[in-house]
Amino acid sequence: MEPISIFLSLLIATIILSLSLLKLVSSRHAPLPLPPGTMGWPYIGETLQLYSQNPNIFFSSKVKRYGSIFKTQVLGCRCVMLASPDAAKAVLVTNADLFKPTFPASKERMIGKGAIFFHQGHYHANLRKLVLRAFMPDAIRNIVSHIEAIALSSLQSWQPRHLITTFHEMKTYAFNVALLSIFGKDEVSYRDDLKTCYYTLERGYNSLPINVPGTLFHAAMKARKKLGEILAEVISLRRERKSDDSNLLQSFMSDAEGLSDEQIADNVIGVIFAARDTTASVLTWILKFLAQNPTVLHAVTEEQEAIMRSRENKGLSWEDTRKMPVTTRVIQETMRVASILSFTFREAIEDVEFQGYRIPKGWKVLPLFRNIHHSPENFTDPEKFDPSRFEVAPKPNTFLPFGSGAHSCPGNELAKLEILVLVHHLTTKYRWCMMGPQDGIQYGPFALPQNGLPIKISLKE
């Protein structure tokens, strides 16, 4: 073979080899695809589809079409939703350092950027320590009698009216317990002003952040400013009084913690936000499920009447609330079936490779608690209300009513306590029946019985 032919053959072979290697290297570094799914309308995305119907329908239709990981857009945020227990654990626990806690911009502006939800690292760990210290069993066991007084006052205010809207009344009850846990039993002078402003604020929580007169967001931001002023006055009075009370506000105000007044106000509002509507929603569903399941109601009533007889006209004690296994299972099953929190928000802090897909930096990542709770792979006959299923512990990562990991709800013990106290007095002293449609559900943002569950309530004879 002539030298020139040899040279050309080698050149061609080299070019082919180089192109092959280049193709191989390129394929290895090619960006992974985004998860499948649709983004909906510009900016609005699929917000209306999610919040205007049963969220089970939205999630199940997506999973059926795209699988357990899919993309969408809600509340102005590009999102990846995750519908499996393993994926939820990966985001919330195993790889939590890659996904910071976050909320839509509207919520962050209304609650306050200093609130515990929006942080991680040392600042978050310090705040979580303070909240846990205030809400751990050793602390809240000392306020059982005060929660009981609020429960009794609430029930007594319902009885003369006969017909009440359950969710509305439960929100008032949960709000008053939240104020007790934050300020202590003596902080009542600002309760009505705080309540008025907070009720306006909450109506804008899931609105688009359009701050022009006439919008829910604009009204909410005005209420948020007023709330900040009220809390600044409360903090100032506490400092003048040099109180040594043991409550969450006092912990926030400790010089050792170094929190500014603005950070304290953000976290007070954040605690009310976390403690109020979720607990009120659970209580509303409990009344509905008990009314619809007479056998379960009978079992709960028997348990509570036995405790009432044993305490011999004395107030409820912390020890009494530890002797309510039947009622506790009702609470667990209610949280599973109702799934008050359909999901939680995280945000990718960098581009993340996840189960063969790319989650871009800044995208929201939403583990779908509701889908996990309603999957037949995790719970047999998942749409059935059956508290007895919790006689056996559920499979790991399948029951997540309070989230999981370092950012799980630190107030879960307080929430369970206030529910147990109210259910005790409700089932031992009152009877109730539902009025109007009993199968309808309304959404936005929490799933609730239709019209907030109107009921007739009366004293037992």
Q: Report residue 417's pLDDT band, with 50, 70 and 90 as the boundaries.
A: very high
In the prediction, which pLDDT does 54 show? 77
Name the helix (H) or strand (E) containing 97.
none
Name the helix (H) or strand (E) containing 360.
none
Domain positions in the chain: 98-340+380-459
Greater confidence (402 vs 323) lies with 323
Fold observed for domain 98-340+380-459? Cytochrome p450 (1.10.630)
User: Cα–Cα distance between 452 and 170 in angstroms, integer?
Assistant: 10
In the prediction, which pLDDT does 254 show? 84
Q: Report residue 415's pLDDT band, with 50, 70 and 90 as the boundaries.
A: very high
Q: Report residue 28's pLDDT band, with 50, 70 and 90 as the boundaries.
A: very low
In the prediction, which pLDDT does 11 show? 44
User: Cα–Cα distance between 14 and 7 in angstroms, integer?
Assistant: 10
User: Cα–Cα distance between 1 and 3 in angstroms, integer?
Assistant: 7
In the prediction, which pLDDT does 29 show? 53
Maximum CA extent, the chain: 114
User: Cα–Cα distance between 255 and 237 in angstroms, integer?
Assistant: 16
List CB contacts of 150: < 8 A, sequence separation 6 or more.
Answer: 173, 176, 177, 180
Q: Are 398 and 373 in contact (CB under 8 A)?
A: yes
The strand order across the sheet containing 346-348 reads 69-74, 77-82, 364-367, 346-348, 99-101
Mean pLDDT of 84-97: 92
DSSP alpha helices (H): ranges in 247-293?
A: 248-253, 261-275, 277-292
What pLDDT, in 10s, does the model give residues 366-399? 999 999 999 999 999 999 999 999 999 999 999 9
> pTM score, two decimals?
0.85
List CB contacts of 169: < 8 A, sequence separation 6 or more.
Answer: 154, 157, 158
DSSP annotation of 92 reads I
List CB contacts of 28: < 8 A, sequence separation 6 or more.
Answer: none
Known binding residue 79? Answer is: no
Q: Report residue 340's pLDDT band, with 50, 70 and 90 as the boundaries.
A: confident
Q: Using only C-alpha atoms, what is the Rg of the chain? A: 26
Work out the burial of residue 112: count CB atoms within 10 Å of its CB; fewer than 13 is exposed, 13-18 middle, 19 or more buried: buried
Q: Report residue 241's pLDDT band, with 50, 70 and 90 as the boundaries.
A: confident
CB atoms within 10 A of CB 138: 8
Q: Report residue 12's pLDDT band, with 50, 70 and 90 as the boundaries.
A: low
